[in-house]
C-alpha cells in the first residue's frame, strides 16, 4: 500500500512538472485566441466540436513544445530568477534531454494533427512559430531588446494559424468565397496584428515589474538600456495607439459587425489610458495596472469579434 501511495505521488508530481514545463496557463491563453480566430473565419458556419477540440489539443502541444525548448535552453538563467527558479529543468527535477524529448514528441504530434485534420499551410505556420520562439527569440533575449519585437511574431502567429486552419490561405492579398460572398484573407492578418501589437504594452509592463529579476539573468527586454524609464512607457503608449486602427480592420473587412467595433475601440481606449498613466506616474503600481488591463483585453476583444461575426 505504501509503495502504491509513493508511486501515485510520483506520477502526480511528474504530471505537474510537465504542466509547468509547457507553461500550461500561458499555452491555454495562446490556444484560446487561436481557436477564437478559427471560429471567427467566415468559413466556419457551423461548429464542429471534434475539429475545435483537435485544434485546441494541437495548439497546446505545439505551444507547449516551444515552451519546453525554452526552459531546456534557459535552465541556467531560469535558476537565477526567483519567478522561474522552481521550474522543473531549472530546479533539477527534470533533465534537459527529457525536456527536449517531450518537446519533440508533443511538437511533432501537434503539427501532424494540423497537417492531417486542417491543412498544410497551418502546419507550416506552426513549424515557423515554434522555430522563431525557441531558436531565435529565446537566445536573442540576452543579446538585444529587439528580442521583444522578434518574439511578438510567434506570440501572434496562433491567431493567424487559427484563421488559416479555417481558410487554408496564408497570403493577405487573396480572397475566398463563402456562400457566394467574397472575403479578404487580410482579415486573418488583422487578427494577427491585434495580438502582435498588444504584446508590447503587455510584455513591457511585466518586464518593468520583473526588471531586477531579468537583469540577474542578463535579459535585455526593455526598450531602454537604463531599465524602467519614461522611454519604455512612451513606447507602450505608441504601440497602444497603433492598436486602435488595427482593431477596426475586422469591421472594415466585413468579417465582424458594428457592435464589436465599439467594444474593441472601448477596450483599446481603456488600455491606452492605463499606458498614459504609466507615462505620467512611472511606477510599479501603474505598470501593474497596464499588465492586468492587458490580461483582460484579449478575451474581451476576441470574444466580441466572434460574437459579432457577420
What integer pLDDT is reported at residue 79 of this predicted model?
85
Helices (H), the chain: 2-21, 24-40, 49-73, 75-80, 96-113, 120-131, 138-140, 147-167, 186-209, 211-217, 230-252, 258-281, 284-307
Indicate the length of the chain as a whole number: 310
Class of domain 1-166: mainly alpha
Q: Can you list the pairs that 285-291 forms with residues at least 24 positions away whose Cβ atoms lie under 8 Å?
A: 287/205, 287/208, 287/209, 287/228, 288/205, 288/209, 290/201, 290/202, 290/204, 290/205, 290/236, 291/202, 291/205, 291/206, 291/209
Contact 53, 34 (CB under 8 A): no
Q: In a structure prediction context, what are the per-residue pLDDT tens digits for the chain, which is 310 residues long?
A: 555 555 555 778 888 988 889 988 888 888 999 999 999 999 998 899 999 999 999 999 999 999 999 999 988 888 888 888 889 999 889 999 999 999 999 999 999 999 999 999 999 999 999 999 989 998 888 888 888 999 999 999 999 999 999 999 999 999 999 988 999 999 999 999 999 999 999 999 999 998 888 887 788 788 877 779 999 999 999 999 999 999 999 999 999 999 999 999 999 999 999 999 999 999 999 999 999 999 999 999 999 999 999 8
> What are the φ/ψ torsions at residue 23 (nearest 5 degrees)?
50, 65
Domain limits, the chain: 1-166, 171-310
What pLDDT, on the 0 to 100 scale, is given for residue 82? 81
The pLDDT score that the predictor gives to residue 139 is 87
Give pLDDT, residue 129. Answer: 95
Q: What is the pLDDT of residue 7?
A: 57
Residue-level pLDDT at 12: 83
**Which CATH code for domain 171-310?**
1.20.120
Measured CA to CA, the distance from residue 166 to residue 154 in angstroms comes to 19
Other Cβ atoms within 10 Å of 282 Cβ, number? 15
Amino acid 241: pLDDT:
97
Is there a shared CATH topology between the 1-166 domain and the 171-310 domain?
no
Amino acid at each position: 500500500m505504501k509503495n502504491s501511495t509513493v508511486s501515485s505521488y510520483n506520477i502526480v508530481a511528474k504530471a505537474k512538472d510537465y504542466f509547468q514545463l509547457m507553461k500550461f496557463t500561458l499555452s491555454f491563453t495562446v490556444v484560446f485566441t487561436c481557436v477564437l480566430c478559427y471560429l471567427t473565419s467566415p468559413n466556419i458556419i457551423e461548429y464542429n466540436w471534434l475539429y475545435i477540440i483537435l485544434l485546441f489539443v494541437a495548439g497546446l502541444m505545439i505551444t507547449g513544445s516551444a515552451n519546453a525548448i525554452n526552459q531546456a535552453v534557459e535552465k541556467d538563467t531560469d535558476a537565477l530568477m526567483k519567478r522561474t527558479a522552481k521550474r522543473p529543468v531549472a530546479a533539477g527535477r527534470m533533465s534537459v534531454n527529457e525536456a527536449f524529448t517531450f518537446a519533440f514528441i508533443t511538437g511533432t504530434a501537434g503539427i501532424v494533427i494540423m497537417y492531417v485534420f486542417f491543412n498544410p499551410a497551418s502546419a507550416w505556420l506552426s513549424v515557423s512559430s515554434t522555430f522563431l520562439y525557441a531558436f531565435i527569440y529565446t537566445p536573442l533575449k540576452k543579446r538585444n531588446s529587439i528580442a521583444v519585437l522578434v518574439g511578438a511574431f510567434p506570440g501572434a502567429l496562433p491567431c493567424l494559424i487559427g484563421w488559416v486552419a479555417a481558410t487554408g490561405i496564408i497570403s493577405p492579398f487573396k480572397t475566398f468565397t463563402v456562400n457566394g460572398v467574397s472575403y479578404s484573407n487580410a482579415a486573418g492578418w488583422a487578427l494577427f496584428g491585434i495580438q502582435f501589437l498588444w504584446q508590447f504594452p503587455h510584455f513591457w509592463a511585466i518586464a518593468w515589474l520583473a526588471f531586477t529579476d531579468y537583469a540577474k539573468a542578463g535579459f535585455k527586454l526593455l526598450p531602454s538600456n537604463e531599465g524602467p524609464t519614461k522611454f519604455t512607457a512612451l513606447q507602450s503608449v505608441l504601440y497602444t495607439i497603433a492598436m486602435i486602427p488595427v482593431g477596426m480592420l475586422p469591421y472594415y473587412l466585413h468579417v465582424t459587425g458594428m457592435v464589436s467595433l465599439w467594444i474593441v475601440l472601448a477596450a483599446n481606449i481603456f488600455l491606452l489610458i492605463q499606458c498614459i498613466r504609466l507615462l505620467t506616474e512611472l511606477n510599479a503600481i501603474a505598470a501593474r495596472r497596464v499588465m492586468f488591463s492587458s490580461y483582460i483585453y484579449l478575451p474581451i476583444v476576441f470574444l466580441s469579434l466572434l460574437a459579432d461575426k457577420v
